[in-house]
Amino acid sequence: MSFSIFKKKPVETSTSELAHDDYFNALIEKEYKRVIDAGQTYLDFTGGNLYPKCQLDNHFEMLNANVLGNPHSTNPSSSLATELVEESRKKVVSYFNADDYFCIFTQNASGALKIVGECYPFNANSYFVLLADNHNSVNGIREFSSHKGGTFEYCPIQYEDLRINENQLNGLLSGKENHKNKLFAFPAQSNVSGVKHDLGWIEKAHEKGWDVLLDAAAFVPTSKLDLSVVKPDFVSVSFYKIFGYPTGIGCLLVRKDKFEKLVKPWFAGGTVTLVSVQASHHYLAKNHERYEDGTLNYLDIPAIKTGLEYIEAIGIERINERVTSLINNLCERLLEIKHSNGQPLVRIFGPSDRKNVGSTLIMNFFDPNGNPYAFEEIEKLANQRLISIRSGCFCNPGIDEINNCLSTQELATYFSSRENGNYQDMIDYLKKMRGATRVSVGIATRGEDLETFVRFAKTLLNK
């Protein structure tokens, strides 16, 4: 069962400063007019994408027209739900060219990452390497490694451009021949700086005998991921980051030749082919079902197919060109803003050349004397103007520690001095700034939204 939602048009060239202005303005008017009508400026697309009207219309038409029941049965309502879920699964595999992968539906990208952390065979002979630039849902995997006696180590990123320190990473991935189970985890795109890390490291790690976990949650909303070309062993994805609706569904893509390397420590409803109570034995399913615990979100999963069709109709290359044009325009304009004494209003972190950087800006604001404005105050002032941005460390403490020049010794001293703490407590103790402001653009961003944010930034001048 399928519904046509959007006819694909050929990608057109445009001389507009902001790529394809006319096309996207028409799209926004049709699919996202509610944002305009609400008088809001939405600049938090890395936090969550906005859903198009046509996707909701399509999905609720399907719900209204059918009777859907819990899968795991052959009755009519169950069979239809199973059919629609499997259509979405096939669409995910097709969208990412992932014929060599199992698609496991999860609650979110964090749930996908937890499967890898919980089931990877960490032990005293294992090694886990991860970038200092990782979401906490990847950082947390180190606890699975530690609790099973494994070793983990971070590869730093460079202060100047927030990219991989290639010499150090190459060193960390080399010389571990005596370790049997080796896992390297990194994000295809930083959820903070927007830096797109070199996917060539997947093959380099494979050549040295490592398994690779790629966190693609921040990358796939605006960039093409072709898993027939780059072949990480495990890939985490969040669907609302791509097209807004539904929330609460992600997936883990597992290369079929690495499926049995993951060892599930328990079983649940829907994950087994046979269980005995008296004999205390069970047989796990041999495919994606092994990790889809309990009842899937069978009412929302069909919306994934229509969401991916919507993105395909627009074209991921066109989306990428658009958001790159928008974010680079905003970056240039913010860097031009200076106080009357010539001091810059903002400092933007990351590569100055903006090459291979996604649709995200991470920044701090400063007064004429070079003193930072608290990021909480920036967000509070933006809220008053109905501007949605995000502030803090964005569940990525590694980037935050680098940007604010926090040393290992300072951090170790803080954590050893107390049993509990929080963000403000650390700021008070270290007397150093933490956190920043993040602005991100997406499909529904207009040129007017950039104008609104620039005008907002200028209200902070000379104060």
Asked if 12 and 24 count as a contact pair (C-beta separation under 8 A), the reply is no
Which pair of structure tokens corresponds to residue 279?
A: 């004999």
Distance between CA atoms of 51 and 87, rounded to whole angstroms? 20
Beta strands across the sheet bearing 234-238: 101-106, 250-255, 234-238, 211-215, 181-187, 126-131, 151-155
Look up residue 137 and give its amino acid: S
Catalytic residue among 119, 155, 393, 395: 395
Length of the chain: 463
The candidate with the shortest Cα–Cα distance to 41, out of 445, 379, 365, 380, is 445
Instruction: Give every CB contact of residue 172 below 8 A, 6+ residues apart in sequence.
Output: 129, 153, 155
Annotated catalytic, 155?
A: no
Strand pairing of 282-284 and 181-187?
unpaired
**148's torsion region: left (phi>0), alpha (psi -120 to 50) or beta?**
alpha
Strand pairing of 126-131 and 181-187?
parallel
Look up residue 225 and give its amino acid: L
Distance between CA atoms of 367 and 361, rounded to whole angstroms? 19
Which pair of structure tokens corresponds to residue 178?
A: 């005596």
Q: Cite the active site residues.
A: 395
